[in-house]
Amino acid sequence: MSKYVKGMITRELAQRLAGVEDAALVNVVGLDATASVGLRKELRTKNISLLVVKNSLARRATEGTPLAAAFQGGEGTLALIWGASDFISLAKEVMRLHDAKEYPAFQARGGVMDGERLTAERLKEISTWPSREEQLSILAGQILAPGANLLAAIQGPGGKLASQIKQKSEGDSTEPQPADASPAAENSPEAAGPPEPSSA
């Protein structure tokens, strides 16, 4: 490959990777055409890009950028993979594909995060961290939990008090009904009337 062609490829790679700061390195050598097409299609649905690059050219293209650390000391052809909602989600997807039976030749090789070169073992460790969505869910739960506990504390005594007031009001509204005249009342002197005069 001539120096001119290498320069063209290097510039194209630099433009393609402009703005990319975190990425993973994987090996896809050995995947057949069908598996390769299926892999790229699956990654696109998750907003993940994959680019096969020669290490020496990638090293030139990323010189002075956060990605440069990923290609230090590497040789041969690798694939750079980036995207997803955050790097942790990307690492999770890379490790899932690493273990997938559909892509036996797919292997995680490392990557770069925040300018730090990552080994495959470090990438696997990062894949166990909670993703951005999971972190937001945990944070939302921690924020809402005190409010929910306070509401429950307020509603508890309040509910008991309301129940007691209701019972009290129902008890007060129940007035005693007048009793029917008893047999004793019917036989009283007032009920019998004045005595009849006796005959002499």
What does each of the 200 residues of the chain score in pLDDT, given as a tens digit?
788 888 999 999 999 999 999 999 999 999 999 999 999 999 999 999 999 999 999 999 999 999 999 998 778 899 999 999 999 999 999 999 999 999 999 999 999 999 999 999 999 999 999 887 777 777 777 787 676 666 566 666 655 655 666 666 666 555 555 555 445 444 555 545 555 555 54
| Helix, strand or coil, per DSSP, at residue 110 | strand
Dmax over CA atoms of the chain, in Å, equals: 161
Class of domain 3-129: alpha beta
Task: Indicate the helix (H) or strand (E) that contains 130.
Answer: none
Contact predicate 55/78, CB 8 Å = yes
Beta-sheet strand order (sheet of 107-113) = 48-54, 77-83, 23-27, 107-113, 116-118
CA distances to 32, 104, 106 from 101, rounded to whole Å, are 14, 6, 9
pTM over 0.75: no
What's residue 166's pLDDT? 62
What's residue 1's pLDDT? 73
What's residue 137's pLDDT? 75
What's residue 5's pLDDT? 87
What's residue 155's pLDDT? 63
